[in-house]
Chain A
Amino acid sequence: MLREILSVIIEYIKLLQDFVDNATSFYIVYIPLDFFFAFITSYMSFTFYVLNPSRTKAHPSIDDIIRFARKIEMLDKNLKRNITNYRINSSLLTGFVVTAFIVLQFNKLNLISSILWSFLGLYALRDPIIKGIQGTLANDLYSEIGESINDSKNDYKSVIESVDAKIKEEIKPYIRDDFEKE
């Protein structure tokens, strides 16, 4: 993983050299700042565009989580295979482009370097993101199972209560006088 990250950094520096004729000490401050913005914005856009693609619901449904956990898992496999040569889907592409533009707005660096830093930020964050989603998914599935079982019990309980009320009504006239009729 370190080698992959280093290769991206080297590529990034090479690109910077191509685009910037006279690198100054300004860039020593600028590069970490760029990384910081890319890190934050890639996380935000990734969460926004990938976890909630319809962008109409406040929270993704369980189907969304399953679908996107699967998508992220595929992305993770692809990233592991080759960081510089992977296929990205439209949601991710949108996320990356938005990220790149936001970063560009903030620090006026070129688009390519912004995209590269976005990839790097995403790559660095992929494990906690995947683990977080998987944990949420597992908890949601457990809750869903619990709810299904409770619904079944509650349905039957309400039927029992209604039958109890009917029986009570039916036998009311036959309650012996020595017992108080409710």
Chain B
Amino acid sequence: MAEFEKDINNIIKKINDEIKAFDLELSNIDSIIEQDLELLIEDYKCKIDTTKIDLDSIKMKYKNLLKMKKIEAIQRAKSKLLSIKEDITNSFPDQIDYNFKKEYLEKFNNKTSSPLN
């Protein structure tokens, strides 16, 4: 049973780490999108006639689309991870480490957001 408890707590820790990484990505989303777009047009910079077309306007045109799609992808993955975490929390309450339980209860009592956020 100890091995299983270890697995369960490692899984919860992994989910928490991944969610934190996603949150970090969301907080830096503008610079990430900027970098991605820069990479996309980098190859064309030396090939096009910049007097006829403005690459910055092209970047601006797709920036919002990329940002929206990236946020959607992250939110989808986050909600999937949260649902796995909720399943584990509900299914194996006895195996979950005290710290995770405490975190769960604090967030639930504060009702600031979803109890497992």
Residues on A facing B (Cβ under 8 Å):
62-63, 66-67, 69-70, 131, 134, 138, 141-142, 144-145, 148-149, 151-153, 155-156, 159-160, 163-164, 166-168, 170-171, 174-176, 179
B77 CB → nearest A CB, Å: 4
Chain A residues positioned under 8 Å from B98 (CB to CB):
none
Chain A residues positioned under 8 Å from B18 (CB to CB):
145, 149
B61 CB → nearest A CB, Å: 8
Chain A residues positioned under 8 Å from B48 (CB to CB):
171, 174-176
Q: Would you give the 0/1 interface string for B64-101, flagging 1 where the beta carbon is closer than 8 Å to chain A?
A: 01100110111011001100100110011000000000
- Is A179 in contact with B4, judged by CB distance below 8 angstroms? no
Give the secondary structure class of B's interface.
helix
- Is B11 in contact with A134, judged by CB distance below 8 angstroms? no
CB nearest to A142 among chain B residues? B11
- Is A151 in contact with B76, judged by CB distance below 8 angstroms? yes
- Is A167 in contact with B40, judged by CB distance below 8 angstroms? yes
Give the secondary structure class of A's interface.
helix
CB nearest to A177 among chain B residues? B49
CB nearest to B53 among chain A residues? A174
Chain A residues positioned under 8 Å from B81 (CB to CB):
145, 148
- Is A141 in contact with B11, judged by CB distance below 8 angstroms? yes
B78 CB → nearest A CB, Å: 8
A-B pairs with beta carbons under 8 A, tally: 94
A65 CB → nearest B CB, Å: 10
Partner of B73, one of A66, A155, A163: A155
- Is A163 in contact with B87, judged by CB distance below 8 angstroms? no
Quick check: is B103 within 8 A (CB to CB) of the other chain? no
Closest 10 interchain pairs by CB?
A152-B77, A138-B7, A148-B80, A155-B73, A159-B69, A134-B4, A174-B53, A179-B47, A152-B73, A174-B48
Chain B: number of interface residues, binned into ranges: 35 or more
Chain A residues positioned under 8 Å from B73 (CB to CB):
151-153, 155-156, 159
Chain A residues positioned under 8 Å from B70 (CB to CB):
156, 159
Known pairs A67-B91, A149-B77, A171-B48; A160 contacts B36 (CB<8 A): yes
Partner of A163, one of B62, B74, B91: B62
- Provide the bound-state CA to CA distance between A173 and B90, in Å: 58
Q: Would you give the 0/1 interface string for B6-41, flagging 1 where the beta carbon is closer than 8 Å to chain A?
A: 011001001100100010000000000000100011
- Provide the bound-state CA to CA distance between A174 and B46, in Å: 11
- Provide the bound-state CA to CA distance between A176 and B74, in Å: 38
- Is A138 in contact with B69, judged by CB distance below 8 angstroms? no
B107 CB → nearest A CB, Å: 20
Quick check: is B102 within 8 A (CB to CB) of the other chain? no
